[in-house]
Every structure is written in C-alpha cells, then in structure tokens.
Structure 1
C-alpha cells in the first residue's frame, strides 16, 4: 500500500512520465468510466481523445480539447431541452423573467420556520 493522499495520487496520474502499473490501471478506469457515461447519454459518435493534454492547470490526462468542447456543448443543449420541458409542464415561474422552480421559495421558508440549519444551497 502506498499511503499517499489524493493530491499526490492524482499528481502521479497526470504525470506523463509516470508509468507505474497502479497509475495505468487508474487511467484505464477513468477512460472506461468516461466511455460508460458517454454511452449512457447515447454519445458514441465521437472519440473522447483520452491522453495527455495541455490545460489551464498544466498537462493533464484527460479528454482532448475538441472532445471536451463537444461534451460541454451537448450538456448545454441537454440542459436547455430539459428546462424547456419543465417550462412546458409549468414547473417554472417565467412571468417575472425568473426561472425559479415553483415552490422553491416556499420550501426554503418552511425550513427556516422549522428552525432548521442552512440547506445545501444556502
């Protein structure tokens, strides 16, 4: 057992010169997980381009930049589609230009009345 923290582990993970078997296994698991998530979304039509790529944080083992942009564009599109469906179902108050879900303010008020501590989103 290596007894290293996550920071040290992932510094090794992102190091292009690191070739230890445990790190390669972790990289393989990340690739497998990313592919499984893409498949769950039905996105098998483009290559995720895993490898060592320059990022704002330096060299990282991650998706290629074109794949990252494609994933973000698709997630944004999906978010807009989901929001439009929720609006069509009457789940958002759009009369005042806001997009707060109906009842969200009521739940927050009830939690404060009950003497509850802060919620996850406060």
Structure 2
C-alpha cells in the first residue's frame, strides 16, 4: 500500500476551523479574487501552467516583476486571513526555506549525485507552528462547544448526514495510514 497523503473532505475541510463569517467577509473575497485573477493573467501572459508558475514563485533567484507581485499578493492574502481570525500579532513575512536539507546530507554520505536544491517561499517554522497550534486550539474549543450544545459532527451525522447514512449499519473503523498520523506532519 502506498504511503501517499490523502484528502478526505469529512476529515479535513468539514472540520477545519474557518474564521467566523468567512463566507461573507468582503476583505477575504476581494484579496482572494485579486490573487486569483492576477495569477490567471500572469499564467496566460507567460504561457505557463500552475506548476511552472509556482516553481518560479518558490525560486529564490526569480526576480520577474509578475512573480514578485504574486508573492506580495500572497502575503496580503495571508494577512487578511490572519486578521479575520483576530491574529494581528502573527507576522506574515515569508522566506525561501530549503526543503529537506537532511536528505542531501544522507545522499552525500551514500555518494549519490547531488540534486538541485528545492526551496519553498513560506512562513518560517516558528510562525507556521504558532498558527498551526492556534488552529488546533480553536478546533478543539469549537468541538468542545459543539459537543456541549449537542450540535457536533456526531449529532449532525445522526440527524441525516449523507456520509453517515451511507455507513449506517456498518461498524466504523479507525483510520489507518496517513490520515491516522497527520499530526506528525505538523
């Protein structure tokens, strides 16, 4: 069995602690639309797809004005989302951070041919960890409140959730593989 990550809407999207009123916030709508439209026009202008565009986005040597603006819009989108949570104290400054530098060391020890270094334009680890911790705490608090009110996922599933209806009568099994250990990815 492969060890690939999987996305399960009921385990990920439906339980994600989105900001209050996120669906009706004009600031989130505006920056999301601006980012999307700029990225689309940049891709058309450069005759490039998403993969090439984001490879350039993450390349620390890339100085094209369009890519620089895309990075700026990304930071603005991060700021808008963090502000929507009320987390005004979280910095949004990104850096080019090398991916898996320990893999290079192991390959060098084995005498493997060096690969091109890969970078991600992202938050530093301490900022990422802080935001992840806040999201986990928020999710935990919301789940506790839903359980207290009797409106949590279990109550909704019993009240006619189509996913619950499809599994009715069959015992639920604990998730295995990547979904059971996603906490280790944080």
Which TM-score band applies after superposition, normalised by the shorter structure?
A: 0.7 to 0.9
TM-score (norm 2): 0.51
| Bigger share in helix | 2
Q: Which 4+ stretches in 1 moved above 4 angstroms?
A: 109-112
Equivalent residues, number: 105
Could you report, residue by residue, the CA deviation over 1:27-85 in whole angstroms, capped at 9, with x for unpaired residues? 00000000111111111113233121123493111111110000000000000010011
- The reply on whether 1:47 has 2:91 as its aligned counterpart is yes
Deviation at 1:110, TM superposition (A): 9.2
In structure 1, stretches of 5+ residues that fail to align are: 93-99, 113-122
Secondary structure of the residue aligned to 1:101 is: helix
1:66 to 122, 126, 130: 126
Greater relative contact order structure (CA < 8 Å, 6+ sep):
2
The match for 2:155 among 94, 97, 102 is 102
31, 37, 59: which one pairs with 2:81?
37
- Distance (Å, rounded) in 2 between the aligned partners of 1:110 and 1:65: 37
